[in-house]
């Protein structure tokens, strides 16, 4: 089924055209997948994290509903949703860091940052910083990592979203992982602790 023929895409297009009922009809269709995305994000957070997956989904959905975005299709919606959830978690981690006023974070590998780590919020901040630096260096590689790891898209969906071939996805992902590995193991000085 092509992305433009899915009910989600159809509802997004109707919503974009001003149909408020389409937005209400969309939520039941996307809620479970948003919950899966939130679960992936929350899996790498500490067990006593003050933000729960349901709250993350609700906050993300509220931001998406009020965003003035020209929705293209289902893949675009979930890519933006992943970016919004990542931003919410990063903001939450930064707020906790400000409260704690702790020292600089420990170095973490890409795998540790994406999976469970001893200090997940710090790992998320380190990964976010590395992703932002990667975006400056190569925006498409940063978007690819975001779509695959944070957005949960398949290689084919990510290729379609970025308008590149699946072979290019494989090649660029290898380069992006290597770049992020280097950035996470040899980060720039942390100006936040200066």
> Could you tell me the pLDDT band of residue 193, with boundaries at 50, 70 and 90?
very low
pLDDT digits (tens, 9 = 90+) for 4-35: 447 888 998 888 888 888 888 888 888 888 88
Ranges 8-17, 42-51, 52-61, 122-131, most confident: 8-17
* Size of the chain, expressed as the number of residues it contains: 194
What CA–CA distance (Å, rounded) separates 22 from 9? 11
Whose tokens are 């995305």? That residue is 37
pLDDT digits (tens, 9 = 90+) for 98-118: 655 544 555 555 555 544 333
CB-based contacts of 65, cutoff 8 Å, min separation 6: 23
pTM value?
A: 0.64
Mean pLDDT of 71-87: 85
pLDDT digits (tens, 9 = 90+) for 138-152: 999 998 988 887 777
CA angle 128, 130, 135 (to 5 degrees): 95
What CA–CA distance (Å, rounded) separates 194 from 155? 40
> Could you tell me the pLDDT band of residue 121, with boundaries at 50, 70 and 90?
low
Q: Which two tokens stand for residue 119?
A: 């200090």
Mean pLDDT of 45-57: 70
CB 169 within 8 A of CB 159: yes
Closest to 121 (Cα-Cα) out of 48, 17, 37, 28? 48
Has residue 46 got a pLDDT over 70? no
What CA–CA distance (Å, rounded) separates 69 from 94? 26
What CA–CA distance (Å, rounded) separates 111 from 185? 12
Can you give the pLDDT at residue 103? Answer: 46
What CA–CA distance (Å, rounded) separates 15 from 163? 24
Upper half-sphere CA count for residue 193 (Cβ side, 13 Å):
11
Mean pLDDT of 36-42: 76
Can you give the pLDDT at residue 69? Answer: 85
3-state secondary structure 13-78: HHHHCCCHHHHHHHHHHHHHHHHHHHHHHHHCCCCCCCCCHHHHHHHHHHHHHCCCCCCCCHHHHH
CB 96 within 8 A of CB 103: no
């Amino acid at each position: 089924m092509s992305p433009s023929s899915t009910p989600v895409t159809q509802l997004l297009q109707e919503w974009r055209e001003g149909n408020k009922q389409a937005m209400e009809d969309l939520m039941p269709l996307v809620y479970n997948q948003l919950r899966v995305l939130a679960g992936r994000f929350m899996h790498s957070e500490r067990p006593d994290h003050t933000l729960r997956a349901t709250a993350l989904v609700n906050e993300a959905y509220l931001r998406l509903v009020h965003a003035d975005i020209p929705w293209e299709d289902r893949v675009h919606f979930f890519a933006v949703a992943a970016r919004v959830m990542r931003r919410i978690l990063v903001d939450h981690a930064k707020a906790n860091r400000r409260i704690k006023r702790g020292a600089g974070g420990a170095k973490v590998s890409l795998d540790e940052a994406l999976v469970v780590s001893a200090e997940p919020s710090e790992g998320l901040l380190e990964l976010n910083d590395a992703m932002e630096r990667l975006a400056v260096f190569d925006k498409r590689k940063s978007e690819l990592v975001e779509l695959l790891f944070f957005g949960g898209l398949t290689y084919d969906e990510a290729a379609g979203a970025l308008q590149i071939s699946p072979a290019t996805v494989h090649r660029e992902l290898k380069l992006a992982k290597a770049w992020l590995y280097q950035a996470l193991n040899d980060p720039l000085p942390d100006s936040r602790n200066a």
